[in-house]
Amino acid sequence: MDEFSLIQNILDGSQADFEQLVKMYQPNVFRTAMGLLHNKEDAEEITQDVFLKVYDSLSSFNQRATLSTWIYRVTINTCLNFLKKKKGNRLLVGLSALLGLASKEKQCEKLVTDKEEKDSIRKAMQELPGKQRLAFVLTKYEELPQRQVAEIMQISEGAVEQLVIRARNNLRKKLEKIVG
């Protein structure tokens, strides 16, 4: 079924077709949210919010872009709005998780090291300028082609490439400072 037919069926009230749309795009929406938010629970919540927004605003989809590009755009805007609301309140792994493994020192030490590495990467990613972080997540986490990332971000392919290069260089500098 082509995009136009799928959209039309959903607008005509087909719950099965909407469920098909969700199944098709849910993994991509979740990965994109994870790449931007770095928190599974938040990404799951955002994923649900995105599909509610898609359902509510599908009638205004003008088909100038592909459906997937539009859904990515909804995902990104939803994530950015979430981050604005949350601003700085990031959930971290609690000490209880570490204490539960206290009897297994090596596992506990590895968990602490892994958590520190993940926190360092998360912190470095969060410090990237918004457009760099977005271009990096879409090209590296989502593995989208630059043409589609350019459509989603509404910029040229060359600008996407430059943003990814800058993001990579900034991440390298930030992580070198942290690691030593």
Per-residue pLDDT, averaged over 62-80, amounts to 89
Spell out the CATH class of 1-91.
Answer: mainly alpha
Task: Tell me what the mean pLDDT of segment 162-172 comes to.
Answer: 91
Q: Binning pLDDT at 50, 70 and 90, where does residue 95 land?
A: very low
CA dihedral 99, 103, 106, 107 (to 10 degrees): -50
Task: Please state the rounded mean pLDDT for residues 86-96.
Answer: 42
pLDDT at 178 over 80: no
> Which is more confidently placed, 47 or 63?
47
Report DSSP letters for 58-114, one per residue: GGG--SSS-HHHHHHHHHHHHHHHHHHHHTT------HHHHHTTTTSHHHHHHHHHH
CA dihedral (90, 95, 97, 98) positive or negative: positive
Tokens 């205004």, residue located: 60
Cα 45 to Cα 50, 65, 134, distances in angstroms: 9, 25, 19
Instruction: Locate the domains of the chain by residue range.
Output: 1-91
Predicted confidence (pLDDT) at residue 90 exceeds the cutoff of 50 = no
pTM of the model: 0.65
Amino acid at 81: N
Average pLDDT, the chain: 81
Q: List, for residues 10-38, the tens digit of each pLDDT value.
A: 999 999 999 999 999 999 999 999 988 88
